[in-house]
Amino acid sequence: MLGLLLAVAVAAAPQPPRTFRVDFFHTGNATEERFALDRLVLEPLPFPGNPARTLDDTNLGKYFFEVRDLQTNRVLYSRGFSSIYGEWETTEEARSASRTFSESLRFPAPERPVQVVLKKRGERNAFREIWTLVVDPADRAVDTARPPSPGPVIELLRSGDPAQKLDLLLLGDGYTAADRAKFERDARRLVGVLFEHEPFRSRRSDFNVWGLCPPSEERGVSRPLTGQHRRSRIGATYDAFGAERYVLTFENRSLRDVASFAPYDVLGILVNGDTYGGGGIFGLYVTVAAGSRWSEYIFVHELGHALGDLADEYFTSETAYLSSKQRPEPWEPNVTADPKAAKWADLVKPGTPLPTPWPRDVFAKRAREYQERRKKIRAANRPEAEMDALFLAEQREETALLGGAHWALAIGAFEGANYEENGYFRPQVDCIMFTRDPVPFCAVCQRALSKAIDLYTR
């Protein structure tokens, strides 16, 4: 009798909705942007998100979307995110040319028509509506086809039901069929390192980690600046926006089809390459060259972007983004334009000077000298081992300099962050988001990451 009751209870339990996806085109330049629907997709798996946290209250991301019930206008789901387009529009190229990027919005499949509303930050970081469309789940145009299988799902860490956990999916790119075992070793190594860092170590039981490795015909990925081009289902490439170390994929459609075979809240792309490189965009994905000497640092650092919307705190490396004379308050939780009213003011101890002194001039001078040496190595196409040796020398020097600073352990407001030497401030003198030094995420970054994990687990 008990067995029958249990069977009836299981049968009566509501089934989680499947994952619905809106693929769209994002087109424009530095002064205008437009949107167009590409396709509507019903993915094969249930939506992995936490049903108790369907609305995003973190106030993170350059963009934000809502799914509203068409009849009642009630918001059913919302999420903040950033995008490749959002970065590209701040580059020099965007001032003279237009480009189109493929993007996606994923949410629990609705039972009836909904309105999808896309918003973007404007003046004073307020969100304004920039695009909207009505989605009918019963529309015959909704694509229900199952894409070609990318291969078996690898269970790297399983802590429970995807609906109650943060699901991290790692995709391999540039790995041939013969390299599949290498991908799994790379993935397990990087996952192991991730959970050595707080807050991930304390929150390990809140994660599931999965792996997928669609076989590539050729080993490695594209490096256009060196004339190397590859085709794969993931489509990762170095040299994004002309930055040799920046790894992205612009093949969003194919990427999403591959990823639809496993549950995920956060995506990672492991590139089968030894050259230093990676990237991370909030709500999109993290990339890392898994064979690089610095892959473990890169993976953890870039996941800080992709999961917690943490800003880069460094300011001496060259980027593709144009500098602005204005210093608006960033939405990212670990940088501020106002040292006396920082987002982390509650963590600053009385008596800490704001701004907080640190050896900025010495640090900046030496960092730029290392940058020049780095350029020469790349220009001469020297072996990657020379670049690794240079990074190690820089790491030793910076660790000693910053670790010996008077306010090294303090939470304050240290000028130099967000790619700018002046006008932006970071919480602590050193952090994973600032250097490659063997240091943890600072207290502010740890708090922000834990809050992001809560959105998927609590």
User: Using one digit for the tens of pLDDT, what is the confidence trace for 10-24?
Assistant: 445 578 999 999 999
**Domain assignment of residue 3, yes or no:** no
**pLDDT of 270 over the 50 cut:** yes
pLDDT at 2 over 70: no
Confidence of residue 8 (pLDDT cuts 50, 70, 90): very low
Query: Are 378 and 279 contained in the same domain?
Result: no
Mark whether 405 and 289 lie in a shared domain: no
Whether residue 140 is contained in a domain is answered as no
Residues 159, 299, single domain; the answer is: yes
Q: How many structural domains are present in the chain?
A: 3
Mean pLDDT, rounded, of the chain: 95
d(CA 144, CA 399): 53
Shared-domain flag, residues 420 and 352: yes
Please report the pLDDT score of residue 13 as a whole number: 58
Band of the pLDDT at 331, cuts 50, 70, 90?
A: very high
Q: Is the model's pLDDT at 56 over the cut of 80? A: yes
pLDDT of residue 381: 86
**Has residue 449 been placed in a domain?**
no
Residues 173 and 32 in one domain: no
Residue with tokens 């952090």: 431
Assess whether pLDDT exceeds 60 at residue 6: no
Contacts of residue 413, defined as CB under 8 A and 6 or more positions apart, other chains included, come to 336, 339, 340, 342, 348, 354, 355, 356, 425, 426, 427
Give 172's contacts (C-beta < 8 A, 6+ positions apart).
179, 180, 183, 186, 187, 211, 212, 213, 214, 234, 269, 270, 272
Handedness of CA 365, 369, 375, 377 (dihedral sign): negative
In a domain, 125, yes or no: yes
Domain enclosing residue 101, as ranges: 15-135
pLDDT score for 5 = 43
Band (pLDDT 50/70/90 cuts) for residue 458 is: confident
Which of 101, 135, 169 lies at the terminal end of a domain, its last residue? Answer: 135
Query: Is residue 3 very low, low, confident or very high in pLDDT (cuts 50, 70, 90)?
Result: low
Quickly state the pLDDT bin for 198 (edges 50, 70, 90). very high
User: Are the CB atoms for 363 and 402 separated by under 8 Å?
Assistant: yes
Instruction: Give the residue from 325, 329, 309, 340 showing the smallest Cα distance to 124.
Output: 329
Residues 284 and 201 in one domain: yes
| Residue 366 in tokens | 């030496």
Give a yes or no: residue 110 inside a domain: yes
- Give the model confidence (pLDDT) of 412-421 as tens digits: 999 999 999 9
Closest CA to 157 of 213, 198, 203: 203
Residue 268 is part of a domain; what is its CATH number? Answer: 3.40.390.10
Residue 9: pLDDT band (50, 70, 90) is very low
Same domain? 304 vs 236: yes
Residue 142 lies inside a defined structural domain of this protein: no
| Distance separating alpha carbons of residues 282 and 165, to the nearest angstrom | 18
Please check whether residue 330 lies inside any domain of the structure: no
Q: What is the pLDDT of residues 69-89, one digit of tens each?
A: 999 999 999 999 999 999 999
Model confidence at 378, pLDDT cuts 50, 70, 90, reads: confident
| CA dist., res. 33 & res. 177, Å (int) | 40
- Whether residue 166 sits in one domain with residue 124: no
Q: Please indicate, yes or no, if residue 384 is contained in any of the structural domains.
A: yes
Read off the pLDDT of residues 357-367 as tens digits, 9 standing for 90 and up: 999 999 999 99
pLDDT (mean) for 247-271: 98
166 and 69, same structural domain?
no
Tens digit of each residue's pLDDT (9 = 90 or more) over 107-159:
999 999 999 999 999 988 999 999 999 999 999 999 999 999 999 999 999 99
Length of the chain, in residues: 458
Q: Which of 288, 308, 328 is the last residue of a domain?
A: 308
Euclidean distance between CA atoms 206 and 24, whole angstroms: 32
- Pair (164, 261) in one structural domain: yes
Q: Do both 86 and 173 map to the same domain?
A: no
CATH number at residue 22: 2.60.40.3250
| pLDDT bracket for residue 179 (50, 70, 90) | very high
Q: Could you tell me if 210 and 294 lie in one domain?
A: yes
